[in-house]
Amino acid sequence: MPTPARSVAVPAVSPRLLALALLTVGLLLMLAYLVAFDQGAVSRSGMYLHELMHDGRHLLGVPCH
Amino acid sequence: MRTFGSLLVRGLIVGLFAGLLAGTFAYVMGEPHIDAAIAIEEAAGATHTHETGDAAEPAAAEEEPLVSRDSQRAGLFLATALYGVALGGIFAVAFALLRRKLRTPSDSYAALGLAAAGFVGVVLIPFLKYPPNPPAVGDPETITKRTITYLLTLVIGLLAVWAGVAASRWAARLGEQPWIRWGVGGAAFVATVVAAYLILPAINEVPGSFPATLLWQFRFASLGTQAVLWTLLGFGYAAVMDRRTKSVHAEAVTA
């Protein structure tokens, strides 16, 4: 079932787009890691950010200590 | 046509709002249960902060916590907002790469379908195998194992959704009737999930003395928080895509 061209809102997949997508996802996964698992290695703030986001981690369903 | 950058920025903004509203839900519905669990923990004499680490050290219990409870309540919003931004961005990248493969002319259905698939894979499948626990539950010794198995269920959840979609498309050759396509797709999805559930180790660290009602309420609040996040992500992204589509129509008409 071909999609009408008019409704496709995305650029064509190219090697350049894939590289960009990979880089973006990598950076965003690091951000998610910062919230979910980091204990100072990424944030460079010791345990401060880890403890600050403690309640969020529990309620977002991430395993915690 | 939208560039990758504009698709991404929309995802990040929608994710931020979804995260903040999920944080509001979590604050109202989840915080009372976290407080109740911490009260149980403190009554049991255990220290909650990871900082103190060595439980054998008696001075540790006396130390001021690194972050006060009030700050942690505010930090809840920081956590859900940042998590929402990350999810929103990844969602937008997935939308950009997968949009052409989704067999619908509607960007709304595409966004809602992706959000539903993401919720099932990233939230529901891990939730059913390894339900989240409030503070006071969980052995610090096993955190690495629990983290790895959690991430595995997350990846397997997404794989199971993919398997279901792939199988239902394959089954379309047998006949276009919905019961064939949904049946075969559903069977592939369920088979993947059941196999993973059987292979992955069982983990239950809830102490027998922990109140069952509180555990249930906390888990329900946690599931609700993530449901709010993913629902708003899907509807929010569908909404911003819709505005774009309209403007394209307008351009096409005026051109």
Burial class (CB in 10 A: 0-12, 13-18, 19+), B204: exposed
Burial tier of B56 (Cβ tally within 10 Å: 0-12, 13-18, 19+): exposed
Q: DSSP readout, B120-133?
A: IIIIIHHHHHS---
Closest chain B C-alpha to A40 CA, distance in angstroms: 11
B145 and B131 both lie in a single domain = no
**Segment 181-240 of chain B within 8 Å of chain A by CB:** 218, 221-223, 225-226
**Residues from chain B contacting residue A32 (CB–CB below 8 Å):** 82-83, 86-87, 90
Same domain, B23 and B93: yes
Q: Is the pTM here over 0.90, yes or no?
A: no
Per-residue pLDDT tens digits for B115-142: 999 999 999 999 999 999 999 888 888 9
Q: In this structure, are B22 and B90 located in the same domain?
A: yes
In this structure, are B2 and B96 located in the same domain?
A: yes
pLDDT in tens, A5-54: 456 578 888 999 999 999 999 999 999 999 999 998 888 888 899 999 99
Specify if B57 maps to a domain: no
Q: Report pLDDT for B247.
A: 53
**Are B133 and B145 within one domain?**
no
Indicate the pLDDT class of residue B167, thresholds 50, 70 and 90. Answer: very high
B73 contacts: CB under 8 Å, gap ≥ 6: A55, B27, B31
What does the pLDDT read at residue B136? 85
Kindly state whether residue B60 falls inside one of the protein's structural domains: no
pLDDT higher than threshold 90 for residue B45: no
Domain hosting residue B157, numbered range: 141-205
Mark whether B22 and B119 lie in a shared domain.
Answer: yes
Return residues 25-54 of A near B (CB < 8 Å): 25, 28-29, 31-32, 34-37, 39, 46-48, 50-54
Domain-embedded: residue B62: no
Assigned domain for B97 exists: yes
Domain boundary among B205, B226, B242: B205
pLDDT top residue among B167 and B2: B167
Cα B221-B224-B225 angle, rounded to 5 deg: 85
Domain count, chain B: 2
Rounded to 5 degrees, φ, ψ at A45 are: -120, 25
| Cα gap B166→B182, rounded to integer Å | 11
Question: Based on the domain organization, do B44 and B10 belong to the same domain?
Answer: yes
Could you report the per-residue pLDDT of B180-227, keeping only the tens digit for each? Answer: 999 999 999 999 999 999 999 999 899 989 999 999 999 999 999 999
Least Cα distance to A10 among B41, B4, B108, B12 occurs for: B4
Question: To the nearest whole angstrom, how far is the Cα of B19 from the nearest Cα of chain A?
Answer: 10
User: CB distance B86–A32 less than 8 Å?
Assistant: yes
Residue B94: inside a domain, yes or no? yes
